[in-house]
A and B are shown apart, each in its own frame.
Chain A
């Protein structure tokens, strides 16, 4: 079935460094969502991308959807210790209803 590959699996950075995680699919996606899960917490919705080439920003976070709608990225500028957690992308596989399939997630550690 539909699957998104998310890389890297782990990322360790020093506070103040930038961070990027990528999601790639072999097929065209209808939309892609991003979630953050803090250690010991539950996934929390960050943003949804729908249009080809779309770029959205939330403070230090920049989200991009590829032109072919087969990949997406989340970039954090100047990481802070509060950014620690697992970042997941999730996709619907081209359907308008039903399950959201999550990528394996990228675990971000920020060293002060």
Chain B
């Protein structure tokens, strides 16, 4: 158990809909990362937050947004969903957000868009 909690485990929704994925980092970790994993794209970095502030951004679509709340949990919002958004979405956390710290991943949320 990595200590990172992601909910829900599975999500099935239709194209055009909006969903919210939730992540609680390990106790004491201030930084949260979101990654998208699809079969042909590997682990793609979406966005990183540190203590409530956005720190780094990857190839995150404009239809996607995220935030980190004062209690350090994070939410990833995906809107106007398309079939191609079907993937496994991982949240990871680290203590300080510097790249010398290993990431601890949650179990992921599997999103299926039909």
Contact = CB atoms under 8 A, between A and B. Distances in A.
Interface stretch (A10-18, A59-67, A99-107): A99-107
Interface in B74-105: 90, 92, 97-100, 102-105
Given A88-B43, A98-B48, A102-B42, A30 B99 contact: yes
Given A97-B99, A100-B99, A105-B42, A42 B107 contact: yes
Interface in B52-74: 55-56, 58
A31 B103 CA distance: 14
Interface band, chain A: 20 to 34
Contact of A96 (B48, B50, B98, B105): B98
Interface in A13-38: 30-31, 33, 35
Which residue, of A42, A43, A97, has the highest number of chain B Cβ atoms within 10 A? A42
Contact of B108 (A42, A92, A105): A42
B27 interface: no
Contacts of A31: 99-100
A99 B56 contact: yes
Interface of A: 30-31, 33, 35, 41-45, 48, 50, 88, 90, 92, 95-105
30 contacts: A30-B99, A33-B103, A41-B107, A42-B2, A42-B90, A42-B106, A42-B108, A43-B90, A43-B103, A43-B105, A44-B2, A45-B104, A48-B100, A88-B42, A88-B43, A96-B100, A97-B50, A97-B55, A97-B56, A97-B97, A97-B98, A98-B55, A98-B99, A99-B33, A100-B99, A101-B45, A102-B35, A103-B42, A105-B42, A105-B43
Interface of B: 2, 33, 35, 42-43, 45, 48, 50, 55-56, 58, 90, 92, 97-100, 102-108
